[in-house]
């Protein structure tokens, strides 16, 4: 009996010893894992730590591959977008000349004929001129030399002087004077020297689409009803052909020319109405920015600056805004009253005020600009 008790006690001591050893090893492994984690975290912080790093920097770093992909896709597809604009616009002009113009000359009064011919061709000339100038005119780039530029910042990507209102375009990989945005439909940046061409193209293209939509509304209704009749007659013709006898003849069908005419009118109205809505909204947005003397990029910058100063009890004043009316005069280059005709209502390749490197008071501005900050 005693031998059994001794054996049982020895087994229990051995078991407790094994448990102690296992617990020690487990604690040792946990301590080693914690040391490795702290060591790796310290190495990572020593390599990546920056006192200026915040959540926005981390998000920009994570989305950098997405930005790179978008920039390169936009750069290579810019030519496709330009070809698409030219192709769609040319198709609308061809439909107007081939299908609608003969009908206008046959049915409209001489006064309406003169109106459509004059306004339609004027609008077309303005669209073609401003689109060509927008895609071929350089937006303007700052010089690489540092000699003539004073009081400017340095672009972190170009490592070159960056004047006021200048921003770096990641698609063009260059700094652009008074950059508004990179437009894929132009395959070009919108900046100091072609901003007016871009806005004028949007405005006249919207006006042309609205003109085509309003003028072709009745024709669109008739063409749509004719296409529905075509579908109904086609269904009846197939039914008659399936049950045809010697005493039955299929109903008459529309010719290829009639089908093409009606479908072209529907295509014209749907495309012009869609473009008028989308491009009209974009035009109104840029008109509001021009009224405030801002670009698309400056709108976001000024908004943040306005909120920051508001917390300090100060009011932000845009230093590049001269008042609503003067902002439009500066943007369009209107120095004298006759320029509203020669530079706004007619094609004009005149240059904007200034060089984009300095922003002195234009001669057409009647009032001095407001201060940047006011308490």
Residue 137 and residue 200: Cα distance in Å, rounded? 14
Name, in order, each residue with C-beta under 8 angstroms of 135's C-beta and a sequence gap of 6 or more: 82, 186, 187, 188
Query: What DSSP letter does each residue of 19-38 carry, written as one string?
Result: HHHHHHHHHHHHHHHHHHHH
Residue 114 and residue 108: Cα distance in Å, rounded? 10
Residue 77 and residue 91: Cα distance in Å, rounded? 21
Q: Considering only CA atoms, which of 134, 155, 190, 182 is closest in space to residue 356?
A: 190
Report whether 121 contacts 97 (CB < 8 A): no
The answer to whether 169 is a known catalytic residue is no
Report whether 100 contacts 216 (CB < 8 A): yes
Selected catalytic residue, list 99, 172, 175, 183:
183
Report whether 202 contacts 286 (CB < 8 A): yes
Residue 272, classed as helix, strand or coil, is: helix
Question: CA triplet 294, 299, 302: central angle to 5 degrees?
Answer: 100
Residue 272 and residue 268: Cα distance in Å, rounded? 6
Count CB atoms within 10 A of the CB of residue 145: 9
Report whether 318 contacts 370 (CB < 8 A): yes
The set of long-range contacts for 84-88, using a CB threshold of 8 Å and a minimum separation of 24, is 85/131, 85/185, 88/271
Residue 113 and residue 48: Cα distance in Å, rounded? 72
203: left (phi over 0), alpha (psi -120 to 50) or beta: alpha
Active site residues: 183
């Amino acid at each position: 009996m005693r031998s059994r008790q001794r054996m049982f006690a020895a087994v229990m001591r051995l078991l407790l010893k094994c448990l102690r050893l296992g617990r020690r090893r487990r604690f040792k492994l946990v301590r080693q894992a914690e040391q490795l984690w702290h060591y790796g975290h310290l190495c990572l912080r020593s390599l990546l730590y920056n006192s200026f790093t915040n959540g926005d920097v981390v998000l920009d770093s994570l989305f950098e591959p997405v930005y790179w992909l978008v920039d390169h896709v936009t750069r290579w597809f810019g030519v496709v977008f330009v070809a698409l604009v030219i192709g769609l616009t040319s198709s609308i002009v061809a439909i107007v000349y081939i299908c609608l113009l003969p009908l206008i000359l046959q049915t409209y009064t001489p006064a309406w004929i003169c109106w459509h011919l004059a306004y339609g061709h004027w609008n077309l000339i303005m669209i073609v001129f401003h689109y060509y100038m927008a895609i071929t005119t350089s937006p303007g780039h700052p010089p690489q030399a540092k000699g003539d530029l004073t009081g400017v910042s340095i672009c972190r990507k170009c490592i070159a002087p960056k004047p006021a209102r200048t921003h770096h375009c990641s698609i063009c990989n260059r700094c652009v004077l008074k950059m508004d945005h990179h437009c894929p439909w132009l395959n070009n940046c919108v900046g100091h020297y072609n901003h007016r061409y871009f806005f004028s193209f949007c405005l006249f293209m919207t006006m042309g689409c609205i003109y085509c939509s309003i003028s072709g509304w009745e024709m669109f209704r008739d063409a749509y009803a004719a296409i529905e009749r075509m579908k109904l007659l086609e269904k009846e013709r197939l039914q008659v052909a399936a049950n045809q006898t010697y005493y039955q003849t299929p109903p008459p069908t529309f010719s290829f020319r009639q089908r093409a005419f009606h479908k072209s009118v529907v295509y014209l109205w749907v495309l012009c109405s869609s473009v008028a809505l989308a491009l009209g909204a974009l035009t109104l947005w840029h008109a509001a920015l021009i009224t405030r003397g801002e670009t698309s990029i400056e709108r976001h910058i000024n908004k943040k600056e306005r909120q920051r100063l508001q917390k300090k009890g100060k009011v932000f004043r845009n230093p590049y805004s001269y008042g609503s009316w003067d902002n439009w005069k500066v943007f369009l280059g209107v120095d004298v009253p006759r320029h509203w005709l020669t530079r706004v209502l007619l094609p004009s390749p005149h240059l904007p005020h200034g060089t984009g490197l300095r922003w002195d008071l234009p001669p057409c501005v009647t009032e001095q600009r407001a201060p940047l900050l006011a308490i």
